[in-house]
Structure 1
Amino acid sequence: MNASISPSAWQIPVDFMITKAPLGLTGAGDLTVYDANGNLVFRIKRCSRPSPHRIKTLFDAMGNPLITVVHHNDGWQAFRGNNYEWKDLIFTVEKTLYSPFKTELEVVLLGRNQGDLKPSFRLKGNPFRRSCTIFTGDSIFAQTSLCYKLQKVIYSRRKFRLTVYPRNDPVLVMAMLVAFFWR
């Protein structure tokens, strides 16, 4: 019997815990992402450089920039690393529905076929409740939810869970969530 012990071969979802820095502190609104064992995996920080656009960057645990998300007009663009050059564009995001109770976004991945601008992903949920479901076609790609505790009436919105389903890229998911939870 030849069974793989590599986690990448397992067909189980992977959970992450996301913590948002409280308002009034340095780094207010920044996100920190931990794996199920409490190890730092990602950080999302606002750009401190002056810019006409609002910018957030996704860093790995070592502090290397992975993806930079730039907000402009009514949408977002995601670039590889810490670049804003057109050749490094990974995807674009546009709002299709925004209300106090429901938000929907469409993500177009830019790949080899630049003429195909059909949405690759749909994000649906409520940013206030930290709920978001990412769909690709009719399949769920990833989901977020608040961390509920029994016997507790008020729940903190600063900590929430992200579940990434098997064979999906957590870096891509985190970059899409930056646009969804943008504030």
Structure 2
Amino acid sequence: MGGAAHEVAETRGPTAPERLRQIARWVWRGLFQDKVPLWLHVATVLGTVVATIVLAPIVGHAFEQQKLKATFVIEFLANLDAATGELISEVADLRACRQRAPQSCQAEERAAVVTIAMLRWKALQMDALLTEPEDRAAVDRLYVALNRVEGDLAPRNGAAPGADPNTRAIAAASFELTRRIARRSGVTLRW
């Protein structure tokens, strides 16, 4: 009886640690000695070819998409920032013009209206890009601020256009949208 149990243990094969040692020796001989099997060479070459043909275009396409997305977002945000600054400057110029000569400020008023139209177009683009309710609420705040500033452009009893709270509201809404778009697209801004 004792002999039969002993024979069964011997026919089982190597234990797990022994098997790991055998695999390690085989890998060592195959990788670091001159005894690399031909099938391993062929498998490595075929694996490299398949990876190059299949994976390289996929990875390249993903990087190209990310690059285009980042470029678009950065240019979009730069244009939004420039237009916001331009509108605030134009409203200040219009305010100064109306204090000097209220009847001769049509060019300044027209420039401000054109910039408001450009910012409305940017807001429309942002509305299409952003899907979260909080982001859309930020776009709505920009629309409201633009409407208030446009309403302030019309001369009323000699009052200066674009009261500071309204132009500050545009700057705040524009900054908030810039921050939200940058965060959603994974672009880091350093201002």
- Larger RCO (CA within 8 A; separation ≥ 6): 2
Structure showing greater radius of gyration is: 2
Q: Identify, as 1 or 2, the structure richer in strand.
A: 1
Q: TM-score, normalised by structure 2?
A: 0.20
The TM-score with structure 1 as length reference comes to 0.21
